[in-house]
Amino acid sequence: MATIGFIGLGNMGGPMARNLVKAGHQLKAFDLSEKAVAGLVEAGAMRAATARDAARGVEFVVTMLPAGDHVRSVYLGEGGLIAAADKGTLFIDSSTIDVPSARETIAAAEAAGMDMVDAPVSGGVGGAEAGTLTFMVGGTPDAFARARPLLEKMGKNIFHAGAAGNGQVAKVCNNMILGISMIGVSEAFVLGEKLGLDAQTLFDISSTASGQCWSMTSYCPVPGPVPTSPANRGYAPGFTAAMMLKDLRLAQDASRTARTPTPLGAQAAQLYALMEAAGEENLDFSGVIKLIRGEI
């Protein structure tokens, strides 16, 4: 049994923290939302008064925060977790954030004599609840080996992606593929429909031909072919267009930093930004098909 500080108990962090409690670990939980903390205390965690309090006297600290600015402000500086935690603490940041913030925070932790990994996830709220998340981990082999047993209580597939920040690199690259492929599948289904080809027939052909991809076979943006896809429930998320836009913007930041052209990634970001401008960012990201149909 390990002692763990857990900071950020939102849609993802809440169920992840509960899975650690269920596995028998001792948690000190903190969030700016008192309601979120109360939920974890009810599940068996201890209440921490502040983020720094959650990080004191524990072997591990897990953070699941919205974005890079939150991670930097929680970890860095005199009032941050790195200054508060005991030497030897292992930090695991599972937030999806920009690569430079991840690398800077990990370097600061290492300079202070601690270990840290970036460990963003995919799998959404359903995966967090079921403990089946995929973790993409960046950091030293030693830090990865220490983090792994905890990550296995929250996820099913745990990948070491290489050095610090590489977890975030894997995450933005994967989600850029996903955002682009969802738009491609949506365009093809709308075009097929307009030309008189019904969606199920196109699905039957394309899902066994070279157009096959996850956006089609697991998450088809038209109702019918994949009964579990959000298209069958009015595009209720799932994974919102707002979340996809956040990740595509991170991919664009990364592409500028790396001076690598990602023209389709840029177009994808623009299309999801149009969904946001239309006030539809809380639809599932597969709702981008409505934009292509001219419905929003």
Q: How far is the CB of 18 from ligand NAD (least distance, A)?
A: 13
- Choice between 32 and 145, CB closer to ligand NAD: 32
Q: How far is the CB of 71 from ligand NAD (least distance, A)?
A: 9
Nearer to ligand NAD, 101 or 122 (CB): 122
Nearer to ligand NAD, 66 or 224 (CB): 66
Catalytic residue, candidates 28, 153, 156, 171: 171
* Binding of ligand NAD by 64 (CB under 6 A): yes
Q: Does 156 bind ligand NAD (CB under 6 A)?
A: no
Q: How far is the CB of 51 from ligand NAD (least distance, A)?
A: 5
125 binds ligand NAD (CB under 6 A): yes
Kindly determine how many residues on this chain lie close enough to bind ligand NAD according to the rule CB under 6 A: 27
28 part of the active site:
no
Interface stretch with ligand NAD, choices 9-17, 185-193, 223-231, 286-294 (CB under 6 A)? 9-17
| Among residues 55, 65, 82, 99, the one that binds ligand NAD under rule CB under 6 A | 65
Residues 35-54, interacting with ligand NAD (CB under 6 A): 36, 51
15: contact with ligand NAD by CB under 6 A: no
List, as own/partner pairs, every contact residues 247-251 make where C-beta atoms lie below 8 angstroms and the sequence separation is at least 24, other chains included: 247/96, 247/171, 247/172, 247/175, 247/176, 247/179, 248/175, 248/176, 248/179, 248/272, 250/96, 250/97, 250/98, 250/168, 250/172, 251/172, 251/173, 251/175, 251/176
Q: Is 13 in the site for ligand NAD (CB under 6 A)?
A: yes
N-to-C CA span, the chain? 51
Residue 133 burial (CB count, 10 A):
27
Which lies closer to ligand NAD via its Cβ, residue 25 or residue 171? 171
Interaction of residue 84 with ligand NAD, rule CB under 6 A: no
3-state per-residue secondary structure call for the chain:
CCEEEEECCCCCHHHHHHHHHHCCCEEEEECCCHHHHHHHHHHCCEECCCHHHHHCCCCEEEECCCCHHHHHHHHCCCCCHHHHCCCCCEEEECCCCCHHHHHHHHHHHHHCCCEEEECCEECHHHHHHHCCEEEEEECCHHHHHHHHHHHHHHEEEEEEEECCCHHHHHHHHHHHHHHHHHHHHHHHHHHHHHCCCCHHHHHHHHCCCCCCCHHHHCCCCCCCCCCCCHHHHCCCCCCEHHHHHHHHHHHHHHHHHCCCCCHHHHHHHHHHHHHHHCCCCCCEHHHHHHHHCCCC
Stretch that binds ligand NAD, among 11-19, 104-112, 147-155, 157-165 (CB under 6 A): 11-19
Query: Does residue 165 bind ligand NAD (CB under 6 A)?
Result: no
| Candidate list 22, 24, 32, 107; residue touching ligand NAD; CB under 6 A | 32
Residue 243 CB, shortest distance to ligand NAD, in Å, is 6
Smallest gap from Cβ 154 to ligand NAD, in A, equals 12
Residues 178-237 that bind ligand NAD (CB under 6 A): none
Q: Please give the positions annotated as active site.
A: 171
Contact positions toward ligand NAD, by CB under 6 A? Answer: 7-13, 30-33, 36, 51, 64-66, 70, 74, 95-96, 121-122, 124-125, 239, 243, 246
